[in-house]
Structure 1
Amino acid sequence: MPSNSAPASVGRPASAEADLFAATGRLLAGGVKFTELNAQRIATEAGVARSSFYVHFRDKVDLLIRLATQLTVPNFDTASAWRPADGVDGLTETFVNIVATFREHAAVRRALSEAAAYDDTVREYWARELDQFSEFTDRLLRIEQDAGRTPADLDVPSATEIIVLGGERAIVEHVNTRPAATDAAFAAELARIWWHGVYRRAPEH
């Protein structure tokens, strides 16, 4: 082998994980169903040996869950940074960023839904991810309620369920069915609904 080819392999093991992530993302975005993927196909797409796949991942479910953190981690960081003091404009900006992340990783979110239908590990993983959003929202609403800024008659568990589960479902549906040009308007409407319907809802008389 020519000596000048050696640098090409330097660092390859360290980059294989990123290559496998990227390859999986490309395949999913290209329309391949998660059930159609296997270690060999992903490794071939990534340009690495099949054995390299198992160096980094137990199986394709392990890969999917770790890939999904590129969606869940930034979204939780973004959502948990918002405070009611930021107002509806701040909430709108928060949703603009969350919708953008969902759109970037739409294929991975679809794969999660597909896998969750038959795989307990994926289903439990996604339930835990939603739980952390629910816990944050519940805590925030109770703080606002105790301070008198959110009406005392608001049922916090019900509001939290609607906000988290309904909001996530609405974002997924929007990203999967409408063009990116509509994202800003969607984010603004979602923010107004949450702000005026929950956080600053007028008390009943």
Structure 2
Amino acid sequence: MPSITRRPSESSGRRAQVEADVFAATRRLLDQGMSFTELGVQQIAAEAQVARSTFYAHFEDKADLLMRLAVGTMGESFDLTSAWAPDDGFDALAQTFVRVVAVFREHSSVLRAIAEVSTYDGAVREFWGEQLSRFVGSTVAGIDAERDAGRTPGSVDAEISGRLIVVAGQHAIVDHIMRRDPAEDASFAWELAATWWYGVYRRP
């Protein structure tokens, strides 16, 4: 008699595999230069070698798929940036941005799709705003701490400056990876770090 205690884990494992296959298939198609808007569920399912009905058993729709794809990208970026602290210094900040740019390059097709879909899909646009808000909140807290410690001038508006450097920085990174050669990534990361360090944190 088969053990019923193994069924949930087997089901969970199968679900994870299907989702991984769909994620990989979608990225392959996007990496080929396909527009996410024009990419059909049937095409994604065929590439992932699953049935269309299986796709809908795991994802509400294409927007749900795209948002879940993007979560991984933003999670990696957040982990990198949140690991840096002002005490680590400017060079460490610049190296952090080198790694962030590398993550964005790796997932550039997904970011391109997010930018494309967020122009007409309110749910995706709201999702992306919420993802950025994580970075903003963490950055604002860091600026507040530096200001309270007297290392950043009290005149700095943490909320405004935090949102400015996060939102503008994200747009700048996306623009850079879409337009510029990877050989320029280190120089770009240095300039972005300088904007944070000498601008918001007001280091001499």
- Matched with 1:182 is 184
1:66 aligned onto 2:59:
no
Deviation of 1:62 (Å): 0.7
Number of equivalenced pairs: 192
Asked whether the 8 Å contact 1:151–1:201 carries over to 2, the reply is no
Asked whether the 8 Å contact 2:15–2:58 carries over to 1, the reply is no
Deviation of 1:132 (Å): 1.0
Of 69, 75, 78, the residue aligned with 2:77 is: 75
- Matched with 1:153 is 155
Q: Which range is displaced more, 171-180 or 150-159?
A: 150-159
Report the identity percentage.
53
- Matched with 2:93 is 91
Q: Find the aligned partners of 2:89 and 2:14 in 1 and give their Cα distance.
A: 47
User: Is there any run of 5+ residues in structure 2 with no aligned partner, and where?
Assistant: 1-12
Deviation of 1:48 (Å): 1.8
Deviation of 1:14 (Å): 4.7
Q: Find the aligned partners of 1:14 and 1:200 in 2 and give their Cα distance.
A: 46
Q: Find the aligned partners of 2:37 and 2:48 in 1 and give their Cα distance.
A: 18
User: Is there any run of 5+ residues in structure 1 with no aligned partner, and where?
Assistant: 1-10
TM-score by length of 1: 0.89
- Matched with 2:165 is 163
RMSD: 1.4
Q: Find the aligned partners of 1:78 and 1:150 in 2 and give their Cα distance.
A: 22
Q: Which runs of 4+ in 1 moved over 3 A?
A: 11-14
Please show how residues 111-130 of structure 1 align to structure 2 within 5 Å: 111-130=113-132
TM-score by length of 2: 0.89
Q: Find the aligned partners of 1:201 and 1:82 in 2 and give their Cα distance.
A: 16
Q: Find the aligned partners of 1:49 and 1:57 in 2 and give their Cα distance.
A: 13
Deviation of 1:159 (Å): 1.2
Please show how residues 127-138 of structure 1 align to structure 2 within 5 Å: 127-138=129-140
